[in-house]
Amino acid sequence: MMKVSSGDNAADTKISLTGSAPLEAVLFDVDGTLCDSDPIHLEAFKILFQEIGYNAGVPIDEQYYIEHFAGKHNEELAEFLFPDDIPRGVKFMEDKETMFRKLAEEKLKAIDGLYKLQKWIEDRGLKRVAVTNAPKTNAEFMISRLGLSDFFEGVILGEECEHAKPHPEPYLKGLELLKVSKEHAIIFEDSVSGIKAGVAAGMPVIGLTTRNPEHILMQAKPTFLIKTYDDPKLWAALEELDKKST
């Protein structure tokens, strides 16, 4: 049975992924999960908000970004920002993503330990797919920039699903693409909406505390939380999973 750990204070709590043995696939979110992209998104929002005088000209902070923007897809954000003028909201979000890619050219970096986990997955011949609410152009840009274009067997986009995260549909489509059952797959996520989607799809979700507070993420019921892919909790769970899978 999988028990929940919520960070260092629960370091002695037993955590386990052995219910997914033998492991066949790993599904990843992109923003905040492969890379620490939220600060770049926040900077892009700040630049464009300044141009339109959003929030009475007062710059938004990280807390505001987490509460209102993190993990949400652009259609939802366009409606939130411009409820009386959706086409303007759509255009604003397109401009914001262009600004994000411009800034990310220099600033985008992988989460610590990602390439170590990539090798672990490749060495075991596991299937893998990216599942994201990010727009297609952004998702492909980030995956390419991180050198992972050949790593993923496909990318499931929330905007191409009938329902984006937090609905489970994107993760269920990921399983369909890989031809794997939920009993033999795990997910890495960093947002409440993403964790909810993975849990609703019936898979263990390892949450990353990249930018979102632990107590917020725990409300979505991840299997356990890690700070980065170097986290000893993760590797202890993967080692145990390895033994169970052989």
Active site residue ranges: 29, 31
DSSP annotation of 54 reads: G
Is the link from the previous residue into 166 a cis peptide, with omega within 30 of 0?
A: yes
Cα atoms found within 13 Å of the Cα of residue 49, Cβ hemisphere only: 16
**What DSSP character marks residue 158?**
G
Which residue, chain included where needed, has tokens 């930018």? 211
How far from the centroid of its chain's Cα atoms is residue 72's Cα?
Answer: 11
**Residue that is written with structure tokens 């954000």 in the block:** 77
Cα(45)–Cα(58) distance, integer angstroms: 12
Alpha helices (H) along the chain: 38-52, 62-68, 74-81, 86-107, 114-123, 136-145, 169-178, 192-200, 214-218, 232-245
